[in-house]
Amino acid sequence: MDKRATWSGQLAFVLAAAASAIGLGNLWRFPYLAAQYGGGMFIAIYLVLVMTLGFTLMVTEIAVGRKTHQAPLTAYSLLNRKWGFVGLFGTIIPLLIVPYYCVIGGWVIYYLKAYAQMAFTGVNMMGEGAVDSGAFFSSFISAPFAPFGYGLVFIVACAVVIVLGVKNGIEKSNLVMMPILFLMAIAISIYVVFLPGSGAGLKYYLVPNLDCISTPDGKFSIVLLAKTVLGAMGQMFYSLSLAMGIMITYGSYMKKSDSIGKCVRRIELFDTLVALIAGLMIIPVVYIFAVKSGMDVHEAMKAGPSLMFITLPKVFATLGGAGPWVGMSFFLLVVFAAATSAISLMESCVASACDLLKLERKVSAFFITAIIMFLSVFSALGYGVWGHVKMHVFPGDAGMPFLDYFDFMTNSVLMPLVAIATCIFIGWVMGPRFVIDECEADGHTMRGKAFYSFMVKYLAPALMVLLLISEICSGLKLGGWSI
């Protein structure tokens, strides 16, 4: 196996980790949750969680990676053989996520192509006012080959970056995609903010609304507050790419001279800034559209594919001649966001195979890419040829399409479980001093050591257990729970 690569510097690591964190979750989940849970109220809670729980979990994962110089599959077993199962599950997670994530990336490429055609030729395949956007989306994802074909293009593009290596592939691609992504997000948000009527949408997004924690008669509700906190916690957890093996892998390429604490703060800043800008891009313009069309704002802001691939095309259609160009710019931005996240997920798998099997990067990349291509078939055809096949979590439940099932099992079940296990392992087996010493290597100082110790031993695992319960209840629609 080749000598382990390192980032060229602290900025390269921060950009790579931030690029990983900035993905589809920022663009379709954050705006939806902010709209549903009190706008500025949700944002304030989210920021507190990022600076406390998010910081604790990310510092822990990066420290494990840098200390061991290993990807997750072998990092935990190197520290304690009995806890190697955590690394195993930490590798299974990205291996299950990448295939369906790349399928969604293929959807985005298809929409980018459609909007480019619309912008340059004037041909609108979604009908006047995008009234047929739902049928357009359904016909594509149910097609016998197209979803897999576009997903394959996305997979190959990411694999090429991985084969080129840490410095020549991941670093250089981020140096191109991240500035473009950031500038495009700012440009689109500025355009949206200056649209007539956007002021009401901005107020809806940014001003704290206490209705999210109050009963219909105006009384404070601890249950509604808990749901708001758990919603923000879930978004923070996924947005920062925690418990996916990514931060351990990227941390393993980190130099001792770089400060883990400072890097984590900068990653959190980048990621949160893009999430907030995503809200500025989406919430005001969807709010305007909902008011004009008489739709309920919460319904218009519904998270997931329906927001990005059905609602937003209708919104772009209301922008007149600028609509196709705004749509094309938006989906180009989404392509970059999806690609940077998919590359980091794929790198975690490739690095794990390299570390365990002592393979060269190219061989490992080919091996992992073949597995991803195979697994992507299920999600790509799960709404079409195999649409009749449903995956069940429990006997007798309604069942889910392949993509929804993989998403539920990884995001709602496995990731919180890995985070809980990591906290127990570091907090009670290795001891918080393990991470503190790694953060203070090479003369660095870690602030808030006592707070970190308390978080990793007690509060973080407790919060992760609550998140696990809420996500399972929400995903399976148990007890009326919905986040």
pLDDT at 171: 92
Over 90: is that where the pLDDT of 380 sits?
Answer: yes
Q: Do the beta carbons of residue 102 and residue 154 sit within 8 Å?
A: yes
The C-alpha atoms of residue 85 and residue 77 are separated, in whole angstroms, by 8
Query: What's the whole-number mean pLDDT along residues 239-264?
Result: 93
pLDDT at 480: 62
Q: What is the pTM of this model?
A: 0.93
Whole-angstrom CA distances from 108 to 118, 141, 153, 356, 376 are 15, 11, 11, 34, 15
Choose among 352, 341, 344, 346: nearest CA to 89. 352
Query: What's the whole-number mean pLDDT along residues 47-66?
Result: 96
Rounded to the nearest angstrom, the gap between the alpha carbon of residue 437 and the centroid of all alpha carbons in its chain is 30
Give the type of residue at 322.
A
Domains of the chain are 10-475 (1.10.4160)
Give the type of residue at 147.
P
The C-alpha atoms of residue 104 and residue 99 are separated, in whole angstroms, by 9
Express as a percent the part of the chain with pLDDT over 70. Answer: 98
**Each residue's pLDDT tens digit, 180-229:** 999 999 999 999 999 999 999 999 999 998 888 888 888 888 988 888 99
The C-alpha atoms of residue 288 and residue 256 are separated, in whole angstroms, by 50
Give the type of residue at 5.
A
Over 60: is that where the pLDDT of 1 sits?
Answer: no
Query: What's the whole-number mean pLDDT along residues 308-314?
Result: 91
Q: Do the beta carbons of residue 414 and residue 90 sit within 8 Å?
A: no
pLDDT at 130: 78
